[in-house]
Structure 1
Amino acid sequence: MAHLIGGIAPWLGLDNHIFGTNDPDIIFGDPFTTGNSLGVSEIGGFLTSGQGGRDSLDGLGGNDTLFGDAWTISNQGRGGDDQLDGGAGDDTLYGDAFQIDAIDSAIVAGGNDRLSGGKGNDTLYGDGYDCLSGRGGDDWLDGGAGDDTLSGDAFSLGDFFVGGNDRLQGGEGHDKLYGDGLDQGVVESGIGGNDQLYGGSGNDFLVGDVLFSRGGSGGDDLLDGGKGNDVLYGDAEVGVDTAGGNDLLIGGTGNDQLWGDGRLTAAFAVETGADQFLFSRNSGRDEIFDFELDKDVIQIAGYGYDDFADFLPNIGNDADGNAVLQLNGTVDQVTLIGIHAADLSAANFVFAGAEFAFV
Structure 2
Amino acid sequence: MSRLLASILPARVTTDEGDFFVGAAGNDVLLVNATVIGLAGMAGDDTLTGGSGDDFLFGDYFSVDLFDADGDPTTVYDLSVIGDDKIFGGSGSDALIGGPGNDSLFGGRGNDLYVSIGGGADLLVEKVDGGIDTIMTSASTFTLAANFEKLIFSNIFTEVRKDVQGFGNGANNVIVGGLRNDTLKGLGGDDTIAGSGGMDVLTGGTGNDSFAFGIAATENGVYSTGDKADTITDFDPAKDQILLYWNSFAFFDSPRGPMEGVIKAAQFALIGEELTGKEIVLYDQDTGEVMTGNHSIFARVAADTILTYHDFELTYGNWAY
Range of TM-score over shorter length: 0.5 to 0.7
Distance 1:299 1:57, change over 3 A: closer
- 2:217 maps to 1:291: no
Q: Please report the TM-score for the alignment, with normalisation by the length of structure 2.
A: 0.59
Residues 135 and 152 of structure 2 are in contact (CA less than 8 Å); yes or no, is this contact kept in structure 1? yes
Structure 2: which 5+ residue stretches go unaligned? 1-9, 62-79, 254-262, 272-282
Match among 170, 176, 180 for residue 228 of structure 1 = 180
Whichever residue aligns with residue 141 of structure 1, its letter is Y
Query: What is the CA distance between 1:334 and its match in structure 2?
Result: 1.9
Whichever residue aligns with residue 49 of structure 2, its letter is D
* SS of residue in 2 equivalent to 1:287: strand
Distance 1:357 1:65, change over 3 A: closer
- 2:244 maps to 1:300: yes
Structure 1: which 5+ residue stretches go unaligned? 31-50, 71-77, 98-108, 129-134, 185-191, 211-216, 237-242, 262-271
Match for residue 315 of structure 1? 284
After superposition, residues 108-147 of structure 1 pair within 5 angstroms as 111-117=92-98, 121=100, 126-127=105-106, 136-143=109-116, 147=118
Match among 152, 177, 181 for residue 197 of structure 1 = 152
- 2:31 maps to 1:27: no
Match for residue 347 of structure 1? 310
* SS of residue in 2 equivalent to 1:347: helix
Query: What is the CA distance between 1:16 and its match in structure 2?
Result: 8.1
- Structure-2 separation of matches of 1:150 and 1:222: 23
Residues 196 and 222 of structure 1 are in contact (CA less than 8 Å); yes or no, is this contact kept in structure 2? yes
* RMSD (Å), alpha carbons: 4.2
- Structure-1 separation of matches of 2:313 and 2:18: 53
After superposition, residues 198-347 of structure 1 pair within 5 angstroms as 198-200=153-155, 202=161, 203-208=163-168, 210=169, 217-219=170-172, 221-234=173-186, 236=187, 244=189, 246-261=190-205, 272-280=206-214, 281=217, 284-301=228-245, 302-303=248-249, 304=252, 310-313=268-271, 314-318=283-287, 323-327=288-292, 332-336=297-301, 339-347=302-310
Query: What is the CA distance between 1:193 and its match in structure 2?
Result: 5.1
- Structure-2 separation of matches of 1:204 and 1:174: 7
Q: How many residues align?
A: 250
Q: Please report the TM-score for the alignment, with normalisation by the length of structure 1.
A: 0.54
Distance 1:193 1:164, change over 3 A: farther
- Structure-2 separation of matches of 1:148 and 1:327: 39
Match for residue 132 of structure 2? 165
Whichever residue aligns with residue 310 of structure 2, its letter is A
Whichever residue aligns with residue 333 of structure 1, its letter is F
Whichever residue aligns with residue 7 of structure 1, its letter is R
Which region of structure 1 is more displaced relative to structure 2, 51-60 or 252-261?
51-60
Query: What is the CA distance between 1:198 and its match in structure 2?
Result: 4.9
Identity of aligned residues (%): 19
Residues 229 and 256 of structure 1 are in contact (CA less than 8 Å); yes or no, is this contact kept in structure 2? yes
Match among 17, 31, 41 for residue 21 of structure 2 = 17
